[in-house]
Amino acid sequence: MSAARRIVDESPPNDRLRLRRPGGETGSGKPAAATLRKAHTVPMAVTIRRATLDDLDDLLDLREAVAGEGVWIGAQVPLDRDGDRARHLHTIEQQEDGTSAVFLVAELEGVMVGSLSMHARIGIAGLGMQIADGHRGQGIGAALVAAGIEWAREAGVHKVELEHWPWNHRARALYERFGFVEEGYRRRQYRRKDGSLWDSVVMGLVLDEDAPGHEERAAEPPI
């Protein structure tokens, strides 16, 4: 992936962004799982690029602002900015090997309006994303997810997974457009600072449909 790419609304409204593995389709002849199933456009010039050390303060400010809304991401205010800074720094440094992690930022006229991070372990990448208030529903999240999936394919990731709160219907709809499916519902999973317990929804996107699965192995009784 290039260090930065420009997403500009120059396409007709019905154009589709298609993301495919090398070869274009799965061995079954079906479109790759990450094909964008519904058209979207970005109604402004947005730059999607990899985060650098110079972005640390802006990344923390964005995280703090979204966390302060109290309803979209797991982080809560007040943030542990020192701890978050160390984690962000580690992710940015991990980008160097090309396969362990990626940290993407979305900029509009030089202002950071969104970010997406992915960490890969044993071929599975966890995805986390946040978009600034006032910039949601404008295609920025879709541009970030598209770039993240592109990185995952190039990094040899076979699956992407994420969690979202049950009421975040807009995020769920976005993920479903990229082929994510619900894989689980975790009741009373996360303890919040006020003592309440929140449910979460687990979603996954399989990128490798070609490797044999366990269902293709001969079933034999245990000895």
- For 108-125, how does the pLDDT look when each residue is reduced to its tens digit (9 = 90+)? 999 999 999 999 999 999
* Residue 223, pLDDT score: 63
* Section 199-218 average pLDDT: 88
Backbone angles phi, psi at 193, to 5 degrees: -65, -25
Spatial separation of the C-alpha atoms in residues 49 and 171, rounded to whole Å: 21
Averaged confidence pLDDT in the chain: 83
| Residue 208 belongs to some domain of the structure | no
Domain assignment present for 183: no
Percent of the chain surpassing pLDDT 70:
76
Does residue 110 lie within any of the structural domains? yes
Residues 54-69: pLDDT tens digits?
A: 999 999 999 999 999 9
Indicate if the pLDDT at residue 40 is higher than 50.
no
Residue 83 in this model has a pLDDT that exceeds 80: yes
Whole-prediction pTM? 0.78
Residue 165 lies in a domain: no
Q: For residue 51, which of 4, 110, 1 has the smallest C-alpha distance? A: 4
Within-domain flag for 128: yes
Number of domains into which the chain is organized: 1
Rounded Cα–Cα distance for residues 143 and 153 (Å):
16
In a domain, 166, yes or no: no
For residue 13, pLDDT over 50 is answered with no
| Interstrand relation of 159-164 and 101-108 (parallel, antiparallel or unpaired) | unpaired
Structure confidence at residue 214 (pLDDT): 78
In a domain, 70, yes or no: yes
Quickly tell me which residue has 């362990």 as its tokens. Answer: 100
Asked whether residue 174 is domain-assigned, the answer is: no
Domain with 68 in it: what CATH number? 3.40.630.30
Q: Give tens-digit pLDDT for 130-186.
A: 999 999 999 999 999 999 999 999 999 999 999 999 999 999 999 999 999 999 999
| Domain residue limits at 46 | 4-157
Lowest mean pLDDT among 17-31, 51-65, 98-112: 17-31
